[in-house]
Amino acid sequence: MRHVLLLFLILLSGLSSAQARDGAVRLEWPEPVGAEAEAVIMMRNATGEVVLSIREDLAAGVRAQRIVLPSLPRAAYTIQAGVVQDGTVVMQSPDTPLAGNIGLEISMGLSRNLAIGFADVWDCEAARPYQILYVGGGLELIRDHERMRFDPDPENDAAEEVERFITADGHYWAMTGNRAILGTPEGTQQTCSVALFAPLLPLNALATDLSWAFELNRDEALITLPGIDTQMLATRGLRVSAPRDGSITLQGDPFQLRLTQERCRLRDGDLIYPITAHLTSAEQDITSAGCAGDPRALLGGGAWQVTALLGQRLDRDTLRNLTIEVSGDAISGRGTCNRYVGVARIEAFALAFRELGTTRLACPADLRNIELRFLDALEAVTGFDISPAGVLTLRAGPQAILTAERRAAP
């Protein structure tokens, strides 16, 4: 049953959207840092874009640091922290939601086990940070609605330590470890340094036929293989290889799990997973494919604009209003007249939108009818597809009930 949200609460939230929040963050980590280490704090909005980046020098040997935060815009939705040593991210925290409005006092634990991921966040001088993805041997630099594709420079000298990537229009990215130069066709350059890796943990992986399962958390890993009881391993005992080629390998005893950032489906499943997994175990003589990650991550990154509902193409005025936005475990958007919010879950290998609630604006009968059909369709969803052209199809079992496209940047 939908819970009706009081309109004045929404209006109150909107009126306070420009208010700032103050506070402090206390960072703690298990090992003392060396000389010239830095603490890094990244804050992101609800769609994952960086809205604030803070760096602070650390004294050699410390295991904790309290950092006073500046006034924060309400757009700051999550916070993540890390330690950079000699240009390398050595420890970091999970991406943590910011709660409350004022007087934030947050304690965050940093771990080496979290400093791995498929994507990096890089600071490039005065410009807002870039997210860098490693795709098909090349790179994609993403910032706001800007996206640049870089391919390996064919003239790159393999004997040099510098990895050089170029675009068709003459931009280049020359990277040495966690330092890089971003150049333009006009000859200008920016010096860039890695801030944080997008955290991989926690991570769940499943065989496509459900014959094995792997659950990787910050401090422990659970693995279930055919013919043996579930084993618990200490995460710190895993050997991690992340060579920045779009793959990550986790080596334990008695298995190896290789992850690539490629979409994957479970056998007879309704969901797309963002990561393909390959498990190898010499002890059990297993080499098996699987899927990993959170399917909801593929739905995040901005709003979707509905193009068809229950097989019927909608007129332009209606299309302009109906939107879907998924961020973590939340769904929100607009109906024909009202805003709505709800919960996005994965339940028994199916997608579920629950607890949908709306504002109570007056609405003409024809538009209200479309809005109710739209909300009913969302509640019936069990899975989705995303076409190569980027068209989202939400499904109830095999039936397509809604299609949508990424909403254009304002």
Greater model confidence, 114 or 65: 65
CATH classification code of 297-406: 2.40.128.270
In this structure, the chain runs to a length of 410
Distance of CA 364 to the CA centre of its chain: 38
pLDDT of 294 above 60: yes
User: Mean pLDDT across the chain, nearest whole number?
Assistant: 82
CA nearest neighbour of 48 among 291, 389, 296: 296
| Amino acid at the residue 315 | D
pLDDT of 355 above 60: yes
| Structural contact between residues 25 and 108, judged by C-beta atoms closer than 8 angstroms | yes
Residue 380's pLDDT is 93
Distance of CA 91 to the CA centre of its chain: 18
Question: Which whole-number Å values give the CA distances from 80 to 40, 95, 97, 175, in the listed order?
Answer: 8, 5, 9, 24
| Structural contact between residues 273 and 293, judged by C-beta atoms closer than 8 angstroms | yes
The per-residue pLDDT for range 128-150, each reduced to its tens digit, is: 788 888 887 889 998 866 889 99
Q: How far apart are CA 389 and CA 372, in angstroms?
A: 29
Token pair in block for residue 206: 């499943």
| Structural contact between residues 110 and 93, judged by C-beta atoms closer than 8 angstroms | yes
pLDDT of 14 above 60: no
pLDDT of 96 above 90: no
Whose structure tokens read 């008695």?
254
Residue 377's pLDDT is 92
The per-residue pLDDT for range 227-286, each reduced to its tens digit, is: 666 666 666 667 878 777 788 888 877 788 899 988 999 987 889 999 999 988 766 667
| Structural contact between residues 384 and 351, judged by C-beta atoms closer than 8 angstroms | yes
Residue 11's pLDDT is 30
Q: How far apart are CA 36 and CA 59, in angstroms?
A: 7
Reported pTM: 0.76
Out of 3.40.228.10, 1.20.1540.10, 2.60.40.10, 2.60.40.60, the CATH code matching 19-114 is 2.60.40.10
Greater model confidence, 367 or 104: 367
pLDDT of 409 above 90: no
**Domain range annotation of the chain:** 19-114, 122-197, 203-293, 297-406
Residue 17's pLDDT is 37
Q: Say whether 323 sits in a helix, a strand or coil.
A: strand
**Among 2-11, 271-280, 307-316, 386-395, whose mean pLDDT is lowest?**
2-11
The H or E element containing residue 74 is: none
Q: How far apart are CA 98 and CA 101, in angstroms?
A: 9
Residue 284's pLDDT is 62
Q: How far apart are CA 272 and CA 162, in angstroms?
A: 36
Greater model confidence, 133 or 291: 291
- 22 pLDDT band, cuts 50/70/90, is low
- 89 pLDDT band, cuts 50/70/90, is confident
Once rounded to an integer, what is the mean pLDDT over residues 143-159? 82
pLDDT of 7 above 60: no
CA nearest neighbour of 267 among 204, 211, 346: 211
Q: How far apart are CA 22 and CA 279, in angstroms?
A: 46
| Structural contact between residues 45 and 75, judged by C-beta atoms closer than 8 angstroms | yes
- The fraction of the chain above a pLDDT of 90, given in percent, is 34
